[in-house]
Amino acid sequence: MITYPSIDPVLLELGPLKIHWYGLMYLIAFASAWWLGRKRAVNSNGLITTAQIDDLIFYGAIGVVVGGRIGSVLFYNFSSFLDNPLYLFKIWQGGMSFHGGFLGVLVAMELYRRKLGCGFYQLTDFIAPLAPIGLAAGRFGNFINGELWGGPSELPWAMQLSCEAFPPHRFQDFAGALCASPRHPSMLYEMLLEGFVLFVLIWIYTRQPRPLMAASGLFLAGYGLFRSLVELIRLPDVHLGYLLNTQWLTMGMLLSVPMLLLGLIILKIAYKREA
């Protein structure tokens, strides 16, 4: 068992200005995508230049932030939105959704590919290896914030939370306070699988000849698989709970399984078209 370090989510305070670790993780995500994009642009066969990567990341960042917020509200807090539509704009109350951000990026890439004059899958294949490192950074931000915990565990790396840092009235699951027993650090599982493992898989895969659409399909299938697996031990959002009277189906899994299936379909189509 490991004791959770209970890190202050505020990295630095400069008078009234507070710099949060989570905000720094977003900066790392965009910076890593920019750096990797410039490396890939050199061998993109004229698809995109290194100078155009700046605009690509700008479009992507807008898609992540806008889509992530809208997705969080619609997928996880829709009742709050119905009660008060202005809740959508209360960004200071937090709330970002990967699936919403993913859809936002797809919209942004459709807009940007028109500017480039290339095909949609040409661009999504190009950006597929750019995202996982950013996903890893985001999950580390979740770890610092002490959110997205898994269920009780007796594994050696399970983490014991401090009741002082995590009072029961703020972090509650169906079995009691989070600090009652050691927990799966599910956000670290996601950081490893959706971040580093997925990055290595796609980066190596895209360095080899492959059909159009295949890299996009691999990203969808890989993320959908890894996220669905972690959702099996990750606690659901308290206000949503498990869905459809089950003790395993979470909103995250409900949104991720279609990604896995769609990714496999795209991979099959890509290789069938090449045959």
How buried is residue 122: exposed, middle or buried, by Cβ count under 10 Å (0-12/13-18/19+)? middle
Looking at residue 237, what is its pLDDT? 84
Looking at residue 275, what is its pLDDT? 64
Q: How confident is the model at residue 167 (pLDDT cuts 50, 70, 90)?
A: very low
Q: Minimum mean pLDDT among 1-5, 31-35, 258-262: which range?
A: 1-5
Looking at residue 166, what is its pLDDT? 55
Which 3 state secondary structure label does DSSP give 177?
A: strand
| Structure letter (DSSP) for residue 235 | P
What's the token pair of residue 125?
């294949």
pLDDT tens across 79-136, in order? 888 888 888 877 766 678 999 999 999 999 999 999 999 999 999 999 999 999 999 9
Strand partners, 231: none
Total domains, the chain: 1
Looking at residue 170, what is its pLDDT? 41
Q: How confident is the model at residue 2 (pLDDT cuts 50, 70, 90)?
A: very high
- Residue of 14 and 141 predicted with greater confidence: 141
Q: How confident is the model at residue 57 (pLDDT cuts 50, 70, 90)?
A: very high
Looking at residue 172, what is its pLDDT? 44
Range of the domain at 39: 2-274
For the cut 50, the answer to whether the pLDDT of residue 168 exceeds it is no
Name, in order, each residue with C-beta under 8 angstroms of 123's C-beta and a sequence gap of 6 or more: 47, 48, 109, 112, 113, 116
From the CA atom positions of the chain, what is the Rg in Å?
Answer: 20
Q: How far is CA 186 from CA 143, 151, 264, in A?
A: 9, 9, 25
Q: How far apart are CA 258 and CA 234, in angstroms?
A: 19
Q: Minimum mean pLDDT among 19-23, 155-159, 162-166, 242-246: which range?
A: 162-166
Name, in order, each residue with C-beta under 8 angstroms of 204's C-beta and a sequence gap of 6 or more: none
Q: How far apart are CA 84 and CA 17, in angstroms?
A: 28
Looking at residue 94, what is its pLDDT? 66
For the cut 60, the answer to whether the pLDDT of residue 176 exceeds it is no
| Structure letter (DSSP) for residue 27 | H
Amino acid letter, 134: G
Q: How confident is the model at residue 223 (pLDDT cuts 50, 70, 90)?
A: very high
